[in-house]
Amino acid sequence: MGLMTGERYIESIRKMKMEVYMFGKRIEHPVDDPILRPSLNSVRMTYDLAQMPEHEDVMTAVSPETGERINRFTHIHRGTDDLIKKVKMQRLLGQKTAACFQRCVGMDAFNAVYSTAFEIDKKYGTSYFENFKKFMFYVQKNDLTVDGAMTDPKGDRSLAPHQQADPDLFLRVVERRPDGIVVRGAKAHQTGVLNSHEVIVMPTISMGPEDKDYAVSFAVPMDSKGLFMIIGRQSCDTRKLEGTEMDVGNSEFGGVEALTIFDNVFVPNDRIFLNGETEFAGMLVERFAGYHRQSYGGCKVGVGDVLIGAAAVAADYNGAAKASHVKDKLIEMTHLNETLYCCGIACSAEGRPTQSGNYMIDLLLANICKQNVTRFPYEIVRLAEDIAGGLMVTAPSEKDLRDPHLGPYVDKYLRGVHAVSTENRLRILRLIENLSLGTAAVGYRTESLHGAGSPQAQRIMIARQGNLAMKKELAKAIAHIKE
């Protein structure tokens, strides 16, 4: 089938009979819902850019198995060049959407499951790797969007999955049949699941032998029986219902999250990639988390580029662009943003092959990347709000600006530099509000903290990967210490 166009992608999602709920009601046509549609447009951009010759190198790759050109979001990384292009692709898409474009989690799940399934088969003689390759070829051939679902609700964090008062607080196998398994549970904070054709489910933590039923990984279509979604609220989400395009800030693009329920969903045997091999649950989690933490060195940087640009435009419109402190703040924002990008590129360039042949990023540097992402975007947002000024959150609505009686007053008193229209000034301030506080903040500021694991998750991995023992030996050698 080859690369799908953005228009074909939209229509393919429209044809799926997904079960979606929002504000206590079932959404019969999610593709056309004004709150949900911007998130679909963000995914569409991953298809549209792949059609453009000038972006072919980063947006697509040639499958070594088939020789066909495929979307990079369905590709298995074969070298450090692929890992670097992944980060560049994510920055480009962040620049074009100023939002979460949602396919990264599936791409990261693809590569984590690929190498882990290979190693499970090597130890146990299972067929998970062949199962996954069959699924991979299907996704590549049809250029499908795949969500990666890892985060369980978790319940009482002090208890293992099998110890929970409610056993469904971690997704689990509830029935094993000759032709497959039946699973029950939920996955929380599922970014882009609504706009996906398929979902890859993975365990969320390392597990012991008692958690065998919870050590499961598989793929199912998003319109599977028993699978449904409850859409999460976002700040300012209902502005999209008001018919005030300017007040939304970023009216075309956005992100969406959902609590995704698996209510006795059947999974056929050839869609299973892990089924009870508990010692490999931690490997899968660690590899997925590493890839996804690398991702943040691209996507968040691209959105950061837009926010920095918006702050600079606001400074122009406010008449403050020449102020030395404003210049210094823009420099600091750029410094922080490019530092994140450096980390994304560095962990990619230091990648190494796994036993399966695909490439894994440097886990230490990937976790350093994400640790910085939990901090730097917050400072970038603070500086942007500082430059923008309080009008960013106190401005009247677009309807006030358009009102025959009120509009002239809004235009008169909220103009900055006289040569710039009040409308343009308010538009750039609404964009900054959207990126800092509104719906896009979920995909930039807050997701920077919790996406791909909260800060402590990275610190645990940094402690594991930091090789403190080796560093001690270096110091002892220099100090001529003999023990």
Does the annotation flag 126 for ligand binding? no
**Where is 182: in which H helix or E strand?**
strand 180-187
User: Residues 228-242: what's their mean pLDDT?
Assistant: 95
The burial of 263, by beta-carbon neighbours within 10 Å (0-12 exposed, 13-18 middle, 19 or more buried), is given as middle
Ranges of beta strands (E only) in 400-481 are none
Q: What is the pLDDT of residue 443?
A: 81
CA nearest 171: which of 205, 145, 194? 205
What is the structure's pLDDT at 442?
A: 81
Q: What is the pLDDT of residues 179-200, one digit of tens each?
A: 999 999 999 999 999 999 999 9
CATH fold label, 6-278? Butyryl-CoA Dehydrogenase, subunit A; domain 2 (2.40.110)
- Whether pLDDT at 121 is above 80: yes
pLDDT tens-digit readout, 448-470: 999 999 899 999 999 999 999 99
CATH number of 283-474: 1.20.140.10
| Per-residue pLDDT, 200 | 98
Positive/negative CA dihedral, 149, 153, 159, 162: negative
Residue 439: band (very low, low, confident or very high) from pLDDT cuts 50, 70, 90: confident
Boundaries of every domain in the chain:
6-278, 283-474
The answer to whether residue 292 is catalytic is yes
| Nearest Cα to Cα of residue 282 among 204, 186, 167 | 204
To the nearest whole number, what is the mean pLDDT of the chain? 97
Q: Is pLDDT of 351 > 90?
A: yes
- Told to judge if 191 belongs to the known catalytic residues of this protein, a careful annotator would answer yes
Do 274 and 128 contact (CB within 8 A), yes or no? yes
CA distance 272 to 297: 31
State the average pLDDT over residues 88-97: 98
Helix (H) or strand (E) holding 266: strand 258-268
Q: What is the 3-state secondary structure (H, E, C) of 53-84?
A: HHHHHHHEEECCCCCCEEEHHHCCCCCHHHHH
d(CA 424, CA 310): 11
Q: What angle in degrees, to the nearest 10, is found between the helix axes of 455-465 and 363-373?
A: 150
Does residue 81 register a pLDDT over 90? Answer: yes
Q: Which of 145, 191, 374, 422 is catalytic?
A: 191
User: Helix, strand or coil for residue 171?
Assistant: coil
Catalytic residue among 296, 317, 341, 444: 296
Residue 257 catalytic?
yes
Out of 257, 277, 398, 433, the active site residue is 257
The answer to whether residue 269 scores a pLDDT higher than 90 is yes
Identify the active-site residue in 292, 343, 398, 444.
292
What integer is the mean pLDDT of 132-156? 98
Average pLDDT of the residues in 277-305: 98
What are the distances in angstroms from CA 254 to CA 31, 96, 234, 466?
13, 11, 11, 36
**Burial class (CB within 10 angstroms; exposed 0-12, middle 13-18, buried 19+) of 475:** exposed
Percent of the chain with pLDDT over 70: 100
pTM: 0.97
Q: Which listed residue (100, 343, 347, 369) is catalytic? A: 100
Residues 357-398 pLDDT 10s: 999 999 999 999 999 999 999 999 999 999 999 999 999 999
Place of tokens 């999955």: 161
